[in-house]
Amino acid sequence: MCNNVVSETIYRRLSMSLERKWTAPDWRDPLAYGEVTSWGGRRWAWEFLRRNEDYQRISVVRGPANVQLDRGRKFGRAKLRPYWADYSKEEERNDVWLLDQVITAHGWEGFDSRPQTSLTSTEMTVKFDLSVVMASGEAAVNYSIDKVKRIVDDEIKDRWGEDGFPAEPTRRPSTSDLFLYLRLIDAGRTSSLELAPFLYPEYCTPQGKADPILVRNGAPNISKHRSKAKKMVGGGYLSLVPAIKLAN
């Protein structure tokens, strides 16, 4: 037993030592992040997730697909990728988020070689007879889809605030807000006075230097932004995963 623990520890350390090192861009330089106005929701979600320290720890440890899925579930991921890996639009389309895997069974088992996926406590499945729907035509298809939506909506209304479910929906921030939150995360424990010249010009003098009085008065606002940034890294990024158009 001890030998297994030692082996696991050595394996983890080896994995960490072999990983490519990734350093977040310099938060003081907005150009260091690239053209953020062109980023879609999944790109923003990945950028926040990769900064999650818990995710960083598990994403460098390899394992079978089912182990990877178990590790990634808490982060909303069906497939793990190392946090230091650059964003890949093609890969992010390929069922890497659990939200992309809405359908777990695509038909009768005889025609689908993929194994059925067991449901967790926060998942649900909906099924109907496709042959009956097809025989009744397009109107029946639309009716069935509407009925499924009503079922899901009713289930969601019953789940808000329960263990394992959000207390409320996450508001999707604008691109400018997301960029501010990302830079705040990368700035770490940098003081408000140091942040102001780069992120809060409204708290600076006309010469661009932080005004201590303005910064002190704006401290609650900065603190609120830091809190929202932390929430985005902690799971708020999931609200960005669907294909959405973010306002600038």
Mean pLDDT throughout 238-243? Answer: 83
In a domain, 201, yes or no: yes
Place of tokens 């109107």: 139
Model confidence at 237: pLDDT above 80: yes
Looking at the structure, tell me whether residues 185 and 156 fall in a common domain. Answer: no
DSSP secondary structure letters along 112-180: --SPPPPP-TT-------HHHHHHH-HHHHHHHHHHHHHHHHHHHHHHTTSTTS-SSPPP---HHHHHH
Say whether both 206 and 234 belong to one domain.
yes
CA–CA distance, 103 with 2 (Å, rounded to integer): 42
Q: Is 154 among the domain residues?
A: yes
For 80-129, write each residue's pLDDT tens digit: 889 998 888 888 777 788 877 754 444 444 445 455 556 677 777 777 77
- In the numeric block, which tokens belong to residue 171? 């508001």
In a shared domain, residues 187 and 152: no
**247, part of any domain:** no
Q: pLDDT of 209-230, one tens digit each? A: 999 999 999 999 999 999 999 9
Residue 132 has pLDDT above 50, yes or no: yes
Task: Answer whether 201's CB lies under 8 Å from 211's CB.
Answer: no
At residue 16, does pLDDT exceed 70?
no
Of 163, 187, 215, which one is at a domain's C-terminal end?
Answer: 163
Query: What is the predicted pLDDT for the residue at 126?
Result: 74
Structural domain contains residue 62: no
Radius of gyration, CA atoms only, the chain: 23
Higher pLDDT, 41 or 99: 41
31: in domain:
no
Residue 210 lies in a domain: yes
Lowest mean pLDDT among 62-66, 77-81, 174-178: 62-66
Q: Which residue, among 140, 188, 171, 176, has the nearest Cα to 239 in the 3D structure? A: 171
Q: Give the pLDDT of residue 105.
A: 47
Q: What is the distance between the alpha carbons of residues 240 and 248, in angstroms, rounded to a whole number? A: 14
Q: In this predicted model, what pLDDT tens digit does every residue of 134-187 receive, in sequence order?
A: 888 888 888 888 888 888 888 888 888 787 777 777 778 899 999 999 999 999
What pLDDT does residue 12 have?
52
User: Which of 163, 184, 219 is the C-terminal boundary of a domain?
Assistant: 163
- Mark whether 181 and 152 lie in a shared domain: no
Of 163, 190, 218, which residue sits at a domain end? 163
Q: Which of the residue ranges 39-43, 133-137, 198-202, 225-229 would you say has the lowest mean pLDDT? A: 133-137
* Mean residue pLDDT across the chain: 82
Q: What is the mean pLDDT of residues 65-87?
A: 85
Burial class of residue 224 (count of CB atoms within 10 Å of its CB; 0-12, 13-18, 19+): exposed
Residue whose entry in the numeric block shows the structure tokens 């059925």: 116
* In a shared domain, residues 180 and 235: yes
The pTM of the full predicted model, rounded to 2 decimals, is 0.74
Domain encompassing residue 185 = 175-240
Cα–Cα distance list, 88 to 81, 144, 176 (Å): 10, 35, 22
pLDDT band at 1 (very low <50, low <70, confident <90, very high): very low
Q: How many domains does the chain have?
A: 2
Averaged pLDDT for residues 1-29: 62
Q: What pLDDT is attached to residue 94?
A: 75
